[in-house]
């Protein structure tokens, strides 16, 4: 059908289907500003003639004929006219919506995750924590949802990630990823990149992992043979010194490995561990027994010119690896019976059995009881802990040599004296 043959409005479906193209594009009025446009190629579409808020005439494309029948086009036209009556330019509104959609495509999960990670770096999170975050991003999160628009992600997407991590038995990682995911989406919401947090309530569908077992550790009766074996160790000086320092101070092997000479005051027998190296993100003072001071003075002749107390000989890390201390213990026949971290359990058990105050040993181990993190007790109990750690080191030496009943009585008296002396000390400080 030729457009000159059109007689009725609105246009019937038979007319729409049979209108023939011409040498130039043309429009046929359907009614109330709605036009049917036909291109020379035969392509057909709907357009609405309208006045912009500025009073200028313009065209608004409603859609192609293949997508919209006459009835559907008229319904859409009603909606557009309502916008125009409200003073909204439909063309400008469409541009804004397309721009928002394009921006949402750039607001990927990867963008939010990298922003979140960089903030953690700038906040000075511990290197071990940052490494864990980076591994989780690179191995579990970014490959799965990194290129997805963050606004499009759902609870199901987050739950699938959790399930995949649990499927390989990494329940501890799954727990951390739950927290980190929730935090990433929270940051994205604050930045205006998404409107909801699909990582909430994931714990409700989390699989229950096996109950944690304690690190292998030794009891007092087992210590004499172990200590004699360690004294006869053929491991190199750096490894044995790190092991003895871990044992004598009951410190986490991780902070021992990363110890720097600038943190250690040998004259005052004090090790100041900065907050960024501590699990609870708080600075920690470690009194050093004379045994450790002597060991470090000897080691200082070998490594004191450098930054690290226990430097590595390999290219991956500037300090010894996390396997060094455990390897030293394993080589003397105690693989599976004791680990570097397990020595902290040994310390806690022994000093508790010998009636040292729990608040002193907990502070020495940098332990916080439930509810203490926000109302942190800043008391270092440094004087009492000096006495306790020296007692502990001396007691280990006595066990190695073969402790006598007389020595046991002397050690018990030292505990009693420490309790009374500490009371006096605290009164003086107050």
| Tens-digit pLDDT profile for residues 222-249 | 999 999 999 999 999 999 999 999 999 9
Q: What are phi and psi of 273, to 5 degrees?
A: -90, 120
| Tens-digit pLDDT profile for residues 49-75 | 999 888 899 999 999 998 899 999 999
**pLDDT number for residue 265:** 96
Active site residue 341: yes
Closest CA to 252 of 369, 347, 379, 173: 347
Mean pLDDT of 215-219: 86
Kindly give, in sequence order, each residue whose CB lies less than 8 Å from that of residue 77, ignoring residues fewer than 6 positions away. Answer: 32, 33, 34, 46, 48, 62
- Catalytic entry in 27, 354, 367, 419: 367
**pLDDT number for residue 426:** 42
- Catalytic entry in 81, 125, 279, 354: 279
pLDDT at 94 over 90: no
pLDDT-derived band at 377 (thresholds 50, 70, 90) equals: very low
- Catalytic entry in 341, 357, 364, 385: 341
CA 227 to CA 230: how far, in whole Å? 5
Active site residue 279: yes
Q: Are 325 and 239 in contact (CB under 8 A)?
A: yes
Active site residue 344: yes
Active site residue 367: yes
Helix axes 382-401, 405-429, angle to 10 degrees: 170
Average pLDDT, the chain: 89
Mean pLDDT of 183-204: 93
- Catalytic entry in 37, 252, 257, 348: 252
pLDDT at 151 over 80: yes
**pLDDT number for residue 41:** 94
pLDDT at 117 over 80: yes
Kindly give, in sequence order, each residue whose CB lies less than 8 Å from that of residue 412, ignoring residues fewer than 6 positions away. Answer: 354
- Catalytic entry in 182, 217, 257, 344: 344
| Tens-digit pLDDT profile for residues 282-318 | 788 999 999 999 999 999 999 999 999 999 988 778 9
**Domains assigned to the chain:** 3-102 (3.30.160.390), 109-205 (1.10.150.130), 220-429 (1.10.443.10)
């Amino acid at each position: 059908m030729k457009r000159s043959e059109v007689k009725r409005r609105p246009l019937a479906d038979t007319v729409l289907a049979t209108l023939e193209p011409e040498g130039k594009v043309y429009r046929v009025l359907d009614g109330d500003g709605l036009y049917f446009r036909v291109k020379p190629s035969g392509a057909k579409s709907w357009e609405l003639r309208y006045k912009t808020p500025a009073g200028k005439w313009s065209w608004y494309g409603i859609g192609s004929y293949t997508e919209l029948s006459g009835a559907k086009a008229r319904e859409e036209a009603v909606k557009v006219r309502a916008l125009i009556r409200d003073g909204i330019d439909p063309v400008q509104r469409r541009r804004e919506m397309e721009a928002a959609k394009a921006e949402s495509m750039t607001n990927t999960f990867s963008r939010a995750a990298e922003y979140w990670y960089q903030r953690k770096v700038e906040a000075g999170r511990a290197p071990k924590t940052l490494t864990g975050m980076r591994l989780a991003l690179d191995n579990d999160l970014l490959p799965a949802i990194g290129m997805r628009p963050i606004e499009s992600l759902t609870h199901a997407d987050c739950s699938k990630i959790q399930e995949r991590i649990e499927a390989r038995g990494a329940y501890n990682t799954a727990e951390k990823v739950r927290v980190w995911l929730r935090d990433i989406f929270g940051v994205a919401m604050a930045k205006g990149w998404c409107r909801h947090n699909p990582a909430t309530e994931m714990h409700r569908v989390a699989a229950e992992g096996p109950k944690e077992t304690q690190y292998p550790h030794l009891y007092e009766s087992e210590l004499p043979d172990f200590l004699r074996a360690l004294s006869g160790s053929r491991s190199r000086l750096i490894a044995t010194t790190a092991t003895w320092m871990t044992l004598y101070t009951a410190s986490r092997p991780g902070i021992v490995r990363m110890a720097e000479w600038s943190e250690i005051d040998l004259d005052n027998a004090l090790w100041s561990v900065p907050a960024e190296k501590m699990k609870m993100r708080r600075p920690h003072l470690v009194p050093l027994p004379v045994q450790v001071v002597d060991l470090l003075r000897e080691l200082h002749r070998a490594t004191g010119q450098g930054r690290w107390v226990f430097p590595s000989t390999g290219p991956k890390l500037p300090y010894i690896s996390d396997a060094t201390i455990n390897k030293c213990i394993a080589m003397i026949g105690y693989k599976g019976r004791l680990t570097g971290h397990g020595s902290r359990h040994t310390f806690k058990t022994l000093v508790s059995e010998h009636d040292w105050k729990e608040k002193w040993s907990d502070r020495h181990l940098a332990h916080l009881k439930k509810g203490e993190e926000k109302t942190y007790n800043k008391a270092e109990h440094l004087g009492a802990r000096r006495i306790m750690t020296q007692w502990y080191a001396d007691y280990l030496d006595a066990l190695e040599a073969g402790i006598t009943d007389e020595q046991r009585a002397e050690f018990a008296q030292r505990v009693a004296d420490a309790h009374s002396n500490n009371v006096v000390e605290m009164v003086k400080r107050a």
